Structure 1
């Protein structure tokens, strides 16, 4: 763990002080790479080759060179208190990015979610980030993500052989969670829908969510409408597929491998048969004729 010095020597004229970090601590200025399979930023192995044109690193917030900190910067450092009783304080860092193809590149600030310094925790963040990447998919799928709201038009009754408009309404959602003591921001975005009509037929996965129709338009065919071919009560449902991104302690926004599927509660749709008959009686002349409101 990076341990801040408890005392500083007298400042030089350039207002720098010794960084004073223990040699056993991590090297936050080490090079990092973006793992193409996990999407995570991890330490670069020796002689490693990857398609990502960029390289990454994390610098101490107030670092001015390898061995010195800016004295004037220190009072305004991001505070990284322990996240739990007995835990260790975090280290304020700034993520950096640079083209990998350039020798001795000029590093620029990575545009993280807060566009500023963030905190790294644990004794070895370079070991911690891959550990988070290894479990992020399962943690994502365990989130209380709200599935799509499902609507059928008309409902709860529809007609045999007629187009029933069915659509889903899902929203992007954000979560702040703690994983391995680190603050992780997760965004979940709906990307696909699988409609199950309850009669053995289904549609999807499809990126089409559909949408509402006015009552005057009911019965029109839409990209997500369905025609029931038998009468009865059927459980209509939709499963929404979400993709996610995550960032650790305000670091780079990374894709979460895989997806999560979240099912909406099913709703009953009753399919009725319509019957049309022709009658010869004139209801004005014979209000009690067959087929008339006052008739048998």
Structure 2
């Protein structure tokens, strides 16, 4: 049993624990300067392994989340996995949201820290020292810019007016 306790932390880090996945709202495109809501989709996982001829049951529970937003900004580790927003609230600042200052494609990486317990041969659960850290596959987010232009022409009265469908910026089709 002491050999298992000494080895379990190393084994825990090598288990195929899924860090979860990165979810972005909106996605796959967002706007420069607007808050993009990111959250983790991570769950508790259980594993049955054999160590030194003993049956070991391991439970991995997500407890901390670190976000690398791909533009040099890192947030965490911290305990909030974030959560989804209804579409009419996209753009609001959340605990895990990020506003990009530049356009381009960015690789967002989530690293989830898991706390583990183990039991040997159906015995009582014991705490695994430390935490295991696992990274989710990168999620690409494309940051675009938006332009707003105001025009005084009424396209019904003057269909050739600047800003009317089919008319270029100079007012000519």
Please give the range of the TM-score, normalised by the shorter of the 2 chains: over 0.9
The 1-side partners of 2:35 and 2:95 are apart by 11
The 2-side partners of 1:268 and 1:274 are apart by 19
Identify which of 86, 89, 97 aligns with 1:214. 86
After superposing on structure 2, the runs of 4+ consecutive aligned residues of structure 1 that deviate more than 4 Å are none
**1:294 Cα deviation (Å)?**
3.2
The 1-side partners of 2:126 and 2:47 are apart by 15
> For structure 1, which runs of at least 5 residues remain unmatched after alignment?
1-128
The 1-side partners of 2:161 and 2:85 are apart by 38
Identify which of 132, 138, 144 aligns with 1:266. 138
The 2-side partners of 1:293 and 1:211 are apart by 39
Q: Is 2:123 aligned against 1:251? A: yes
TM-score between the two structures when normalised by the length of structure 1: 0.56
Which protein is bigger by CA-based radius of gyration? 1
Identify which of 135, 150, 154 aligns with 1:282. 154
Which residue matches 1:162? 34
**1:251 Cα deviation (Å)?**
1.3
* CA displacement 1:251-270 (0-9 Å, x = unmatched): 12100001111100101111
Which residue matches 2:105? 233
Which residue matches 1:91? none
Which residue matches 2:76? 204
**1:227 Cα deviation (Å)?**
0.5
Which residue matches 1:175? 47
TM-score between the two structures when normalised by the length of structure 2: 0.94
The 2-side partners of 1:132 and 1:267 are apart by 36
Partner of 1:145, secondary structure, is coil
**1:287 Cα deviation (Å)?**
2.2
- How many residues in Structure 1 have an aligned counterpart in Structure 2? 168
The 1-side partners of 2:50 and 2:160 are apart by 74
**1:288 Cα deviation (Å)?**
2.6
* CA displacement 1:155-181 (0-9 Å, x = unmatched): 111000000000001100111110000
* CA displacement 1:195-217 (0-9 Å, x = unmatched): 00000001100110011112111
Identify which of 152, 166, 171 aligns with 1:294. 166
If each structure's strand is expressed as a fraction of its own residues, which one has the higher value? 2
> For structure 2, which runs of at least 5 residues remain unmatched after alignment?
169-173
Q: Do 1:287 and 1:294's aligned partners in 2 also have CA atoms closer than 8 Å?
A: no
Q: Do 1:151 and 1:168's aligned partners in 2 also have CA atoms closer than 8 Å?
A: yes
